Amino acid sequence: MSLQIPMATASRQLKKISTQKTIEMVSRGIWAQVQHPFYSVYGATPYILGNEQGYISFLTALHRHDVISQIPSVIQIATTGHGRSLSSAIADFELLHIQPGLMQSGIEVHAGKLVYNMATAEKALFDTLYISSRRGKRFSKFPELNWKAINKKEFYKLIEESTPAVQKLILPKFKNI
């Protein structure tokens, strides 16, 4: 539904409503109705990504799949766009760039009231190892992993489907875990 009002007017009205704590600004042009029964912080992901490809991954997805018990302080998102951080009233988001070719499999669509994509446990582990090999000390120390939550056959399938260059990056890291 379009109200046909100028953007500046809409922004002022939304800011006024936000003082009542019924909505929160996520980022410029993105607002969340936090008291709505369908609200989920993860539901903001597609709007944050905009035209980029992406999905919830890394430690956030590992925690959601019960692979790690620690609760990450930020929601980590794999994206084809530029890596960046976004702090908002609903959560802190960290977008990490990965190659578009690595977004072919291992992604589940959560199609509840709000639709968003999340990496499988195996894909989240793969992505985390990939970033740790590319970004210096990033994810250099893994929390304790619940290996029962990882399907090793699916994990190795993701490695086999990747390019030889990616395999060379990930396999040494995997042996150290």
Q: Give the total number of structural domains in the chain.
A: 1
Is residue 149 situated within a structural domain? yes
pLDDT at residue 39 in the model: 73
Q: Edge-to-edge strand order for the sheet containing 92-97?
A: 84-87, 92-97, 75-79, 54-56, 115-119, 107-111
Q: Name the pTM for this structure.
A: 0.82
Quick: pLDDT tens for 9-44. Answer: 766 776 666 666 666 666 676 766 767 777 788 888
Is residue 12 situated within a structural domain? no
Is residue 34 situated within a structural domain? yes
Is residue 6 situated within a structural domain? no
Is residue 80 situated within a structural domain? yes
